[in-house]
């Protein structure tokens, strides 16, 4: 061991006990160079723990095998969660280099653990006798979930298959990392400069302020203005800019991410990912990768997914024809070219919305300051679940923009820590997501969750949100509550570690409270006057919510259908990504003037990891549950009905993965969900019935 390595081991904060600040990572002490030495120590430590469990002389029992396995790898888990959070929220050239090196090593270590023959033999022995062991419900669930984890990770493969499987998983980890880094590089490099008043035409003050702020963040000077690819800046520009040529330039830049020839071209990366996933599925004995993934989903099979998506697809296209005519008429009245194009739709829809509902998004924004909406979501969590949020400004975080709150229950006891990181920057991946630095569990007397929400709002002073931004804020906080309110014994079953088409239920359900009149009356106050949102304006907002839902449905459902088509290809099918996507768009009849929310070349849900592969449908699956579930509060006559909220807390938000999700939903609702509330919410029920 050389002197540099010895120093990193001796003084590496990643290897120390984090006993200050409730176990929060010591962010101000951590550097990229610390990670590889820390992983080098954590890997063998974890394997030693695994070998110890596997080599026990005593016959396998739940406590000496499953419980011990669930509590193993604490050091590695802590370092890995921190590493993944930093590479997503606040990366750097040095951290990206470490990420590229560690991605295949992390995957290989996981394969080593889940292909450990002696350990799996003990787990499998318990699984085969599971009905005879007298296990509690959560213990049985843990045994079933861990056993499935091992099987899906290749524990039953033969020797030569195991070798190839490790190669596949390591290769996929490297490719998915490269995919993510390519997107981040293209997003960070792009700006659309706005030079003079002509380029600013049509933009309301909040967009102009955000464009100036984006320029300042990039060191372009106090008088510069730029539009970035961050949705919270790009989408308002596409909505309000009178400059059709600039809208087109921005639209093409957004849709073309990852599809540009050169170092960051994701098309060959995706082809390799798909080929390896097909081989992975074949090794497990499945005909397609979709078949492999859906084994562990509520949907169960491709037909169930397609049945759900098709219930909205054709009705949405039919309704879009009506909307298109209204937008075309608006374009003609404005002297704009027809037929309309994809970079016109948001702009013209805003004009029609303003005319039809006497509602302008620019009129709404002053009532939706970020600080006020954070207070609103905390208020809802308090009224529903008895939580209180106390901001702490004395703890170092990963970035100056991030904020931290202690989360306390009605009795004042600490529930967890919540971090909000809400602003876009070039060192942060796009989108919005929830993650944890530590999961809740019953280990060592109980571990407190440390939860983080990431958004990518355009930073300004003050930061004003669209209502879609407000929904995103509430959505991610719904995930956050799922992590914070978790109350289970075993970490593998904690918080959001549920089936992928169930994990979006707590988040999408919480969005409903963002539109509750009593919430908006209290918190949606004009940023300058402090006056509450007028009741008439709120009513306009509510009446306009179904407008343009056909466009939103097509934008989402098209990519969901393409995802399923891609991952349902027979194993061994080579794919030209551009040709495949074009053919699917033609086959489905995706309108060119609407397009897709995600194109394959930048579809991070599918290719940044396997999390949503053959699974982008899950948002609509969860929307069925959410729309039906919120009706329980409607039926109770109060959006904050205490009995309904307590039932929701007990069955959904705090129970993690301790039971089958279909059973969890029935325990909350008293029956299976109905699809009609979702179709009604999207304004598609009549069309669907026809």
Query: How much is the CA Rg of the chain, to the nearest whole Å?
Result: 25
Separation between Cα atoms, residue 116 and residue 51, nearest integer Å: 9
Token readout for 328 is 């075309």
d(CA 349, CA 342) in angstroms, rounded, equals 11
Per-residue pLDDT, averaged over 444-458, amounts to 96
SS3 state of residue 630 = helix
Q: How far apart are CA 100 and CA 106, in angstroms?
A: 11
Whether residue 1 has pLDDT greater than 80: no
The C-alpha atoms of residue 604 and residue 637 are separated, in whole angstroms, by: 40
Burial class (CB in 10 A: 0-12, 13-18, 19+), 129: exposed
Cα angle for residues 138, 141, 145 (degrees, 5° grid): 140
Report, at the CATH architecture level, how domain 358-490+513-545 is classified: Orthogonal Bundle (1.10)
DSSP string, 68-116: HHHH--HHHHHHHHHHHHHHHHS--HHHHHHHHHHHHHHHHHHHHHHT-
Q: What is the pLDDT of residue 197?
A: 96
User: 530 burial class (0-12, 13-18, 19+ CB within 10 angstroms)?
Assistant: exposed
Residue 325: burial class (beta carbons within 10 Å; 0-12, 13-18, 19+): exposed
Catalytic residue (choose from 476, 504, 511, 626): 476
Mean pLDDT comparison of 3-7, 459-463, 578-582, highest-scoring range: 578-582
Q: Give yes or no: 491 in active site.
A: no
Of the candidates 551, 536, 549, the residue with the CA atom closest to the CA atom of residue 364: 536
Regarding pTM above 0.85, the answer is yes
Interval 634-651: pLDDT, tens: 999 999 999 999 999 999
How would CATH label the architecture of 267-340+352-357+549-616? Orthogonal Bundle (1.10)
Could you give the 3-state DSSP secondary structure of residue 441?
strand
Distance of CA 441 to the CA centre of its chain: 22
Parallel, antiparallel or unpaired: strands 450-457 and 414-423: parallel
Distance CA 154, CA 247 (A): 48
DSSP-derived letter for residue 59 is: P
- Say if domain 3-156 classifies as CATH 3.40.50.300: no
**E strands, 409-564, where?**
414-423, 433-438, 450-457
Q: CB–CB of 235/493 below 8 Å?
A: no
Kindly compute the dihedral angle of the four CA atoms of residues 531, 535, 539, 541, in this order, to the nearest 10 degrees. 0
Eight-state DSSP code of residue 369: B
Q: What does the DSSP 8-state code read for residue 389?
A: E
Is 60 exceeded by the pLDDT of residue 687?
no
pLDDT tens sequence across 56-85: 999 999 999 999 999 999 999 999 999 999
- Delimit the domains of the chain by residue range: 3-156, 190-255, 267-340+352-357+549-616, 358-490+513-545
Please give the Cα distance from 386 to 171 (Å, whole number).
Answer: 46
Q: Kindly report the number of other CB atoms within 10 A of residue 356's CB atom.
A: 14
Least confident interval from 351-360, 547-556, 678-687: 678-687
pLDDT tens digits along 91-146: 999 999 999 999 999 999 999 999 999 999 999 999 999 999 999 999 999 999 99
Looking up tokens 């930061």, which residue turns up?
A: 463
Q: Is 93 exposed, middle or buried (0-12, 13-18, 19+ CB in 10 A)?
A: exposed
pLDDT tens for residues 522-565? 999 999 999 999 999 999 999 898 899 999 999 999 999 999 99
686 pLDDT band, cuts 50/70/90, is low
d(CA 624, CA 602): 27
Helix (H) or strand (E) holding 392: strand 388-392
Q: Are strands 192-193 and 450-457 parallel, antiparallel or unpaired?
A: unpaired
Q: Render pLDDT for 321-347 as a digit per residue (tens, 0 to 9).
A: 999 999 999 999 999 999 999 999 999
pLDDT tens digits along 589-598: 999 999 999 9
What are 250-306's pLDDT values in tens digits?
A: 999 999 999 999 999 999 999 999 999 999 999 999 999 999 999 999 999 999 999
Average pLDDT, rounded, for the chain: 96
Q: Which residues pair with 111 in a beta bridge?
A: none
pLDDT band of 689, cuts 50, 70, 90: very low
């Amino acid at each position: 061991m050389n002197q540099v390595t010895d120093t990193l081991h001796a003084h590496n904060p990643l290897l120390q006990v984090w006993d200050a600040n409730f176990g929060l990572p010591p962010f101000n002490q951590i550097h990229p160079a610390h990670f590889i030495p820390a992983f080098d120590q954590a890997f063998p430590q974890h394997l030693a723990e695994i070998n110890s469990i596997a080599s026990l002389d005593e016959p396998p029992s739940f406590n000496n095998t499953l419980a011990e396995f669930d509590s193993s790898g604490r050091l590695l888990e802590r370092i890995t969660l921190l590493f993944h959070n930093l590479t997503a929220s606040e990366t750097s050239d040095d951290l990206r280099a470490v990420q590229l090196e560690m991605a295949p090593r992390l995957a290989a270590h996981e394969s080593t653990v889940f292909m450990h023959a002696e350990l799996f033999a003990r787990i499998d022995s318990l699984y085969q006798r599971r009905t005879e062991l007298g296990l509690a419900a959560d213990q049985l669930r843990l045994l079933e979930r861990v056993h499935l984890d091992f099987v899906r990770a290749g524990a039953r493969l033969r020797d030569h298959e195991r070798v190839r499987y490790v190669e596949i998983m390591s290769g996929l980890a490297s490719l998915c990392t490269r995919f993510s880094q390519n997107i981040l590089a293209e997003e960070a490099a792009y700006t659309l400069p706005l030079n003079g008043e002509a380029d600013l035409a049509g933009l309301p003050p909040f967009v102009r302020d955000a464009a100036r702020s984006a320029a300042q963040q990039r060191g372009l000077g106090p008088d510069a203005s730029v539009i970035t690819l961050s949705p919270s800046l790009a989408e308002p520009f596409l909505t309000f800019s009178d400059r059709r040529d600039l809208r087109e330039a921005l639209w093409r830049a957004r849709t073309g991410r990852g599809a540009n020839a050169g170092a960051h071209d994701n098309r060959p990366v995706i082809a390799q990912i798909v080929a390896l996933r097909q081989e992975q599925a074949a090794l497990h004995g499945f005909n397609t990768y979709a078949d492999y993934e859906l084994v562990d989903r509520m949907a169960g099979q491709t037909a169930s997914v397609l049945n759900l998506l098709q219930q909205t697809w054709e009705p949405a296209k039919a309704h879009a024809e009506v909307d298109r005519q209204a937008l075309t008429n608006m374009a003609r009245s404005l002297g704009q070219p027809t037929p309309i194009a994809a970079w016109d739709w948001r702009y013209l829809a805003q004009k029609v919305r303003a005319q039809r509902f006497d509602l302008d998004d620019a009129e709404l924004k002053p009532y939706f300051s970020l600080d006020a909406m954070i207070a609103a979501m905390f208020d809802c969590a308090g009224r529903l679940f008895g939580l209180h949020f106390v901001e702490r400004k004395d703890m170092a975080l990963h970035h100056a923009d991030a904020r931290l709150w202690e989360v306390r229950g009605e009795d004042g006891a600490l529930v967890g820590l919540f971090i909000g990181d809400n602003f876009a920057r070039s060192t942060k991946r796009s989108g919005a997501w929830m993650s944890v630095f530590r999961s809740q569990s019953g280990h060592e007397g109980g571990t407190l969750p440390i939860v983080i929400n990431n958004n990518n709002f355009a930073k300004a002073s003050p930061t004003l949100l669209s209502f879609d931004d407000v929904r995103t804020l509430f959505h991610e906080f719904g995930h956050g509550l799922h992590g914070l309110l978790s109350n289970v014994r075993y970490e593998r079953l904690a918080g959001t570690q549920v089936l992928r088409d169930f994990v979006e239920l707590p988040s999408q359900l919480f969005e409903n409270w963002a539109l509750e009149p009593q919430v908006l009356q209290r918190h949606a106050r004009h940023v300058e006057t402090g006056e509450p949102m007028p009741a008439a304006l709120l009513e306009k907002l509510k009446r306009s919510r179904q407008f343009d839902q056909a466009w939103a449905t097509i934008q989402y459902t098209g990519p969901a259908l393409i995802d399923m088509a891609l991952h349902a290809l027979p194993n061994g099918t080579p794919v030209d990504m551009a040709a495949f996507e074009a053919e699917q768009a033609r086959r489905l009849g995706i309108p060119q003037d609407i397009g897709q929310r995600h194109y394959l070349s930048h579809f991070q849900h599918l290719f940044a990891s396997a999390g949503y592969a053959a699974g982008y449908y899950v948002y609509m699956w969860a929307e069925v549950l959410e729309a039906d579930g919120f009706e329980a509060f409607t039926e109770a006559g109060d959006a904050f009905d205490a009995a309904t909220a307590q039932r929701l807390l007990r069955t959904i938000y705090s129970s993690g993965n301790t039971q089958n999700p279909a059973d969890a939903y029935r325990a909350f609702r008293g029956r299976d969900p109905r699809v009609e509330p979702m179709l009604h919410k999207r304004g598609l029920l009549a069309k669907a019935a026809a």
